[in-house]
Structure 1
Amino acid sequence: MVAPLSAWPWENLGIFKYLLYGPLVAKGLYSRVYEDTSEDNWCLHILIICVLRGLIHVLWNSYGNMLFLTRNRRINPQGVDFKQIDREWNWENFILLQALIASMAYYIFPCFENLPLWNTKGSITLLFLHVTVSEPLYYWAHRQFHKDLLFTHYHSLHHSSPVPQALTAGHATFLEHIVLSTVIGIPILGCSLMGYGSIIIIYGYVLTFDFLRCLGHCNVEVVPHQIFESLPFLKYLVYTPTYHSLHHTEMGTNFCLFMPLFDAMWNTLNSKSWELHKKISLAAGKNGRAPDFVFLAHVVDVASALHSPFLYRSFSSLPYQTRLFMLPAWPITFLVMLVMWVKSKTFLYSFYNLRGRLHQTWVVPRFGFQYFLPFASEGINKHIEEAILRADRLGVKVISLAALNKNEALNGGGTLFVNKHPDLRVRVVHGNTLTAAVILNEIPKDVEEVFLTGATSKLGRAIALYLCQRRVRVLMLTPSTERFQKIQKEAPVDRQNYLVQVTKYQAAQNCKTWVVGKWITLRQQSWAPSGAHFHQFVVPPILPFRRDCTYGDLAAMRLPDDVQGLGSCEYTMERGVVHACHAGGVVHLLEGWTHHEVGAIDVARIDAVWKAALKHNLKPLHTDSLNTP
């Protein structure tokens, strides 16, 4: 049975809970248009404060997830996983609750009518009430919530988040936020009842309150230890993220709201608070633990850049798709793209742990279309080369190149860098061997004929040679006889007749298995017979025009179940699923292979890489792919 006041009243409304803001919006609009009274201002102020409060939490959370800025200042080095994100999904419930309380307070207490813009006495009174009432009240209530019954039914929800973040500050039960609303409301109400209230005081106190709450939960130490060494008394007046983080790990200490003074007075101050704070502050300028594996990604397009985990984590925790809220942000993102084009360097994007080994994703600050601009190739290769050399200096074992970062025309699938730097300790991997294995294992074993586009690319060549060895007839779409014959000569002599050059899509009108490595239009898809299936390794994926046909996903694998700290989706992939080239690098690391995987795919290694992936519990998305070739 659910404890009283533990669940939120609008818990079952889902997104429709935002309709509860409707009366505030309607009253504000009606009063402004028809009455021109102060009520419209009050409703408008409540709504503005709600927006600003949400923005403070989101911006603090974004900063905490900007690993390229905060990685050496993080208090808890673990990543936030999908479970925590889902658990904290409705973190903003308290903003709605306090908006409703504020709207009722206006009608109950006449002191909120016709407030001035500023009142100097009010600021002093507010500070006095906060220190003498709110701080001790919160301290006492917080300690009560840590007693067995209250903790089990109420406060344990807040402590269920293993890695505190700014959004964790709002993640609590209904009863806790009623108490917190009292704590934040007493100084405002008391100040106003004394006749010292003002609009700026209300805005300032509420937003400062949220700012400090987010500061304590942000998991990034931002307060320099030198401040406390110069002015020791300050350590008792304002807490730090390190100070509050100790409350989440050693829950019998550090109960204060914002002022450690009250923990010192009642002997609940953690003795390690300042020592740990200084240690983390001093480590800010040093390099942290070097990752074992790096996946070097790139941005696909302007819109998908908004899928970054440091922008809005709930959005990045779901597979990418275009949403309406992204449209207003597009121009800003485009301007940021231009700045990145000129100045930015490769940056740390996300990370996760797999069997005690740190896996990081770095991003080359280039968008997909830039890879096809002839004048941009030198600059892109320079970014990739710098990332590889940086990984080599840090002691990274494997760096895997994503999609366009290993484009054949750009750098020969990574060959350029390996040849230029023969003494690299880091292994450079394009991951295409596992990509080919995933595609090949999706093709039914009884297929006798396959139509292949992009037939002379790295993947196309490997797929064609592998299938012909299985005595599958491969219709290779290519206008270049020379390139076709070069690939055909690589096949065993007795299997070369299984490779057939075709130059038109009409040649596949009776073939129900298409493997697409080059983007195809509706007209080109129309030549496929009804019931055909389109396997694909083309980026971006082809559009599913045909309703009488089926379409496969891009080559991908599901990471093992023991992965930790993974909280963002890789582009359009499901949770816990990564592109096959990413998974190929992971397998390379787990197997401890010491060779570079660059240039042409070694067809003889496809089976070995596939078996190694399955051995390490990387799973194909389709269970019928579990049969080893």
Structure 2
Amino acid sequence: MAGPLSAWPWENLGVYKYLLYGPLLGKVLYTRTQEGSFKGDWCLHILIICIARALLHQLWNSFVNMLFLTRTRRINRQGYDFKQIDKEWDWDNFILLQALIASISCYIYPPFIVNVPLWNTKGFITILTLHVGISEPLYYWVHRCFHKGYLFTQYHSTHHSSPVLHPYTGANATFLEHLALSTVIGIPIIGSHMMGYGSRSIIYGYPLVFDFLRCLGHSNVEVVPLQLFETLPFLRYLLYTPTYHSLHHTDTGTNFCLFMPFFDAIWKTLNNKSWELHRKLSSDAGKDRRTIPDFVFLAHVVDVSSSIHAPFVIRSYASLPYQMRLFLLFCWPSAFIVMLMMWVWSKTFLVSFYNLRGRLHETWSVPRFGFQYFLPFAKEGINKHIEQAILRADRLGVKIISLAALNKNEALNGGGTLFVNKHPNLRVRVVHGNTLTAAVILNEIPEDVKEVFLTGATSKLGRAIALYLSQRRVRVLMLTSSTERFEKIQKEAPLEYQSYFVQVTKYQAARSCKTWIVGKWITPREQSWAPTGTHFHQFVVPPIFSFRRDCTYGDLAAMRLPDDVQGLGNCEYTMDRGVVHACHAGGVVHLLEGWTHHEVGALDVDRIDVVWNAALKHGLKPVSNSIKQNSM
């Protein structure tokens, strides 16, 4: 049974908890409409402080998850998994709590915020004295109490349950703990005001500095320079570091201080590894001391709005499948500016990582957007970025690099053939993963289907799917205007199966076919030629619109990663949690099987069953309900 005051009063409200800010906002609007100005409105100040505190935590979240900047400074090398993200989902509860406490205080004594000067030097000295003399030791002893018996198991264990520290971890605590923390924060502010030294800079600045230092300690990224402590040794007792606080989460009987290790020193709870570990991490900062990944998935951004679906933007949003949301409209201008900066910077960057059976898997992203792949003048530049990523992976000792969607476009680089031919001595294996993509699509098709309609029929995937289905004696209506390309594919099949290939040039030819395999984007008008009850299988990015209510639509070819994956905390585009595109999964299978060949260019139809069975053997699972659970 949970302890009293362990749950938040608005825990069951979900997103509707933000309606509790409604009275504050209503008061602001009322003051503006009735009095014609915001002067003297303490509600407005409270709302601004709340927004500033939330923004501060968001900026820290962005920094911590910018792995391309912080990977050499990370303390704990694990990733943030979905379990931790969900546990810290309501990290901002404390902001709402303190806003309500401030509202009550200001309602009782309105001049608390509005009738004070902007700056007061004596107030600055006073609040510093109160913080050091009261808040720091008070927090220290309360914190130690929460590490004992009942208080720890019923309250503080929630905070310590997060395996990897994050700025949101510092805010993730029970209601009772945040009531105590609110007291710690409130004493210096109220005390300086009661002494007559209050100012707006204190009311705004102290909570923000407090939050900044809390985020610093929970950031899992060592940013405090060693030179600072070497030049001024006494500072190590006045300011803690991320390394210092991380030791509290590994050795819970030490390093209890709020921000100042001085109190741990005088009460003999200072971890004796604190300074040496900080020295080691700081000395290694800037060096590429990270574990070399075994596998790299080279992704790309689809469009400006989907670029916001990244862990370093909004962690909670990235942990869910991508969907167009209203807030993206407000983020779009800043995302567009970042896009322009990426074009200028023009470097492949690390987006996320996870561990699978002791092997590190990383996702790198090419700084190019989907529409750029279709610009003729951009072809050379994009291939240059992909080539640089492959060569970088080769230098690092990466075993497999898998190319996502447009990065292996046939017209762009021949499905990766360009790079393999140009660099014949590559140690890293280049994999387009389309063999598993074809296997997933083919396993979606029921065995009793005798006819399919195939768009994108002469692409790598279209060719392999057509050849495979012909061997199952399935009639394939191949939509293509190129008779030459059609006949070339048809002649690859044994003579006895060639009659199952049928060239069509219009969508009207599929009016009686209920199985469509879409490899080229089709409009709602083109979908209208499908008969009622048609199922649209697809391997086109982005996926087609679900226009027909009398038809069904399959997801993009994908597979669920094995259950023992660790540190995975973001969704891959529109995929569900733990699900990746089949081409990504194809690279994973290539690594787990230890295959040493490149998988580029045309698909080997004879390997489709081999790759599919290997995927199932290693615990990868199909995600479509229509997929058969056994080998073809």
TM range (shorter): over 0.9
264-273 or 617-626: bigger deviation? 617-626
What 5-or-longer segments of structure 1 have no aligned partner?
A: none
Match of 1:28 in 2: 28
Looking at structure 1, the residues matched to 25 and 111 of structure 2 have their Cα atoms a distance apart, in angstroms, of: 22
Looking at structure 2, the residues matched to 504 and 561 of structure 1 have their Cα atoms a distance apart, in angstroms, of: 44
What amino acid does structure 2 have at the position aligned with 1:134?
A: S
Matches within 5 A, 1:272-351: 272-287=273-288, 288-351=290-353
Looking at structure 2, the residues matched to 496 and 561 of structure 1 have their Cα atoms a distance apart, in angstroms, of: 42
Question: Which of 520, 525, 528 is residue 527 of structure 2 equivalent to?
Answer: 525
Looking at structure 1, the residues matched to 266 and 35 of structure 2 have their Cα atoms a distance apart, in angstroms, of: 52
Per-residue deviation, 1:111: 6.2
CA RMSD of aligned residues (A): 1.1
What amino acid does structure 2 have at the position aligned with 1:625?
A: K
Looking at structure 1, the residues matched to 111 and 258 of structure 2 have their Cα atoms a distance apart, in angstroms, of: 27
Q: Deviations over 1:585-609 (max 9, x none)?
A: 0000000000000000000100000
Q: Matched residue of 2:366: which SS?
A: strand
Per-residue deviation, 1:523: 2.1
Looking at structure 2, the residues matched to 144 and 38 of structure 1 have their Cα atoms a distance apart, in angstroms, of: 44
What amino acid does structure 1 have at the position aligned with 2:95?
A: I
Per-residue deviation, 1:36: 6.7
Match of 1:536 in 2: 538
Aligned residues: 629
Per-residue deviation, 1:320: 0.4
Match of 2:159 in 1: 158
CA contact (8 A) 2:394 2:426 kept: yes
Match of 1:401 in 2: 403
Per-residue deviation, 1:37: 8.7
Looking at structure 2, the residues matched to 9 and 600 of structure 1 have their Cα atoms a distance apart, in angstroms, of: 60
CA contact (8 A) 2:264 2:270 kept: yes
2:630 counterpart of 1:627: yes
Looking at structure 2, the residues matched to 10 and 542 of structure 1 have their Cα atoms a distance apart, in angstroms, of: 40
Per-residue deviation, 1:116: 1.1
CA contact (8 A) 1:111 1:195 kept: no
Over the matched positions of the two proteins, sequence identity in percent amounts to 77
Match of 1:171 in 2: 172
User: Cα distance 1:143–1:480, how it changes in 2: closer, same or farther (>3 A)?
Assistant: same
CA contact (8 A) 1:32 1:40 kept: no
Per-residue deviation, 1:229: 1.4
Matches within 5 A, 1:124-163: 124-163=125-164
2:234 counterpart of 1:257: no
Match of 2:468 in 1: 466
Q: Deviations over 1:541-597 (max 9, x none)?
A: 111111111110100000001000000000000000000000000000000000000
CA contact (8 A) 2:464 2:604 kept: yes
User: Cα distance 1:463–1:108, how it changes in 2: closer, same or farther (>3 A)?
Assistant: same
What amino acid does structure 2 have at the position aligned with 1:92?
A: D
Q: Matched residue of 1:214: which SS?
A: helix
What amino acid does structure 1 have at the position aligned with 2:605?
A: V
Looking at structure 2, the residues matched to 437 and 447 of structure 1 have their Cα atoms a distance apart, in angstroms, of: 16
Per-residue deviation, 1:210: 0.3
Q: Matched residue of 1:89: which SS?
A: coil
Q: Matched residue of 1:256: which SS?
A: coil
Q: Matched residue of 2:426: which SS?
A: coil
Match of 2:78 in 1: 78
Using the size of structure 2 for normalisation, the TM-score is: 0.98
Looking at structure 2, the residues matched to 120 and 340 of structure 1 have their Cα atoms a distance apart, in angstroms, of: 44
Q: Matched residue of 1:327: which SS?
A: helix
Matches within 5 A, 1:560-575: 560-575=562-577
Which runs of structure 1 show a deviation greater than 6 angstroms over 4 or more consecutive aligned residues? 36-39
2:436 counterpart of 1:426: no
What amino acid does structure 1 have at the position aligned with 2:263?
A: F
Match of 1:19 in 2: 19
Looking at structure 2, the residues matched to 283 and 404 of structure 1 have their Cα atoms a distance apart, in angstroms, of: 37
2:50 counterpart of 1:53: no
CA contact (8 A) 1:29 1:40 kept: no
Question: Which of 585, 607, 610 is residue 608 of structure 1 equivalent to?
Answer: 610
User: Cα distance 1:407–1:267, how it changes in 2: closer, same or farther (>3 A)?
Assistant: same
Using the size of structure 1 for normalisation, the TM-score is: 0.99
CA contact (8 A) 1:27 1:40 kept: no
Match of 2:482 in 1: 480
Q: Deviations over 1:291-331 (max 9, x none)?
A: 00000000000100000110110000000011111102212
Looking at structure 2, the residues matched to 568 and 90 of structure 1 have their Cα atoms a distance apart, in angstroms, of: 17
Match of 2:117 in 1: 116
Looking at structure 2, the residues matched to 341 and 488 of structure 1 have their Cα atoms a distance apart, in angstroms, of: 42
CA contact (8 A) 2:477 2:501 kept: yes
Match of 2:212 in 1: 211
What amino acid does structure 1 have at the position aligned with 2:377?
A: F
What amino acid does structure 2 have at the position aligned with 1:89?
A: W
Looking at structure 2, the residues matched to 40 and 174 of structure 1 have their Cα atoms a distance apart, in angstroms, of: 31
What amino acid does structure 2 have at the position aligned with 1:65?
A: N
2:387 counterpart of 1:390: no
Q: Deviations over 1:377-407 (max 9, x none)?
A: 0000000000000000000000000000000
Q: Matched residue of 2:60: which SS?
A: helix
What amino acid does structure 2 have at the position aligned with 1:445?
A: E
Q: Matched residue of 1:474: which SS?
A: strand
Per-residue deviation, 1:35: 4.0
Looking at structure 2, the residues matched to 37 and 504 of structure 1 have their Cα atoms a distance apart, in angstroms, of: 65
Q: Matched residue of 1:115: which SS?
A: coil
